[in-house]
Amino acid sequence: MRAGSTRAPHRHHHPRRTPLRALLAALLTAAIVIPLAGAARPAIPAPPPAHLATSLTPAALSSAYAANRKNAADAARMAAAHGDTRRAAADRALAAPARRLLAFDGRGHGHVIEVMGDLAHARRIAVLVPGSDTTLDTYPRFHRAAASLYTALTHRPTEGRAPENTAVAVIAWLGYDTPATVSTTVTTTTRADEAAPRLRAFVRHLRTAAPATAHLTLLCHSYGSVVCGRAAPGLAADDIALIGSPGTGADSAADLHSRARVWAARGSDDWVAHVPHIRTGLFGTGTTVGFGTDPVSAAFGARVFDAAGADHSGYFTPGSASLANLARITLGETSEVTGD
């Protein structure tokens, strides 16, 4: 299938009501009705986020990076004194001189927004929005995905490319409390509804720190695609790519009410293909279970691209078809995007 087509392969059309789908639907409901018990992790002490005296502008970026690195170093010392060596190591890594942190909050599960590249001069910017189980403790995994994309963008041949496509930045946006994969929250839009205003606000601030004409692409993985779906109306993005998505909470790409081009992909080894695409209210509680139409289906209407055999964690694997296509989308090389 050529790039720009909204058709998806037949395996995504009208899935049959198999016993497996019925079982998964029941499990989704059970995840709400019967909360899974788990031991709460003791609170890890950390300082409040650094106070930045000025708004986010190109001139203020270096001071923002320095202030957030210092905050991460303070958080590392507090976590170490608390006896949490894993968190201390994660914080300490983020405090390294080479890291460019737009934001850092070491409290609770933690938030961090990190830049790779020269944001002040970037003409192509990709913002990665993560899915479930992404916290400061697991941040290195998310950082690797962002770094993999940055390498793919910066090591592509520049011959024949427009000059504006050679200055790039990648941003790892852990700006919300992600749900746990096994939890009551992962089957609803609750966390995404909380995250959406934060993502919109971040994009507004980003527009003041980067060139005004920079092309912005959101790459939304797994539950992160629900966040992007809820944030989409009014979001100043040029492209939105949904990868390994369980759905967005919308019935179609048009229902996202975004001016952005909407893309979608799912690898053949991604378990999320077995998640039933339902959306239903639960027993008059006001809670909605499920995320609706499959984003790689023809009914949704996204531009479906090739992710080959990617599993749920494999979309940013170096050398993969999915990573190559995500780089092409970010660079605006849409005629080179390969279809599913």
Nearest to 103 by CA among 171, 190, 195: 171
Tokens encoding 62: 């270096």
Mean pLDDT of the chain: 86
Report the chain's terminal Cα–Cα distance, integer Å: 6
pLDDT of 17 over the 70 cut: no
CB 101 within 8 A of CB 112: yes
Find where tokens 């976590």 sit: 79
Name beta bridge partners: 243.
221, 265
DSSP string for 250-261: SSSSGGG--SSE
Tokens encoding 222: 């797994």
**Looking at per-residue confidence, does 204 or 289 come out higher?**
204
pLDDT per residue as tens digits for the range 33-53? 333 333 345 688 999 999 887
User: What is the number of other CB atoms lying within 10 angstroms of the CB of residue 96?
Assistant: 10
How does strand 215-221 pair with strand 261-265? unpaired
Find where tokens 């023809």 sit: 298
Q: pTM, whole model, 2 decimals?
A: 0.86
Distance, in Å, from the CA atom of 92 to the CA atom of 85, rounded to the nearest integer, reads 10
pLDDT of 31 over the 80 cut: no
Mean pLDDT calculated for residue range 102-115 = 97
Find where tokens 């790779």 sit: 116
CB 104 within 8 A of CB 111: yes
CB 150 within 8 A of CB 331: no
Distance, in Å, from the CA atom of 145 to the CA atom of 134, rounded to the nearest integer, reads 12
pLDDT per residue as tens digits for the range 124-167? 999 999 999 999 999 999 999 999 999 999 987 765 556 556 79
How does strand 261-265 pair with strand 303-304? parallel
Mean pLDDT calculated for residue range 60-80 = 97
What's the confidence (pLDDT) of residue 290? 77
pLDDT bucket at 56, cuts 50 / 70 / 90:
confident
Distance, in Å, from the CA atom of 55 to the CA atom of 23, rounded to the nearest integer, reads 50
Mean pLDDT calculated for residue range 5-15 = 42
User: What is the number of other CB atoms lying within 10 angstroms of the CB of residue 86?
Assistant: 12
What's the confidence (pLDDT) of residue 280? 67
Angle between helices 190-209 and 223-231 (to 10 degrees): 70
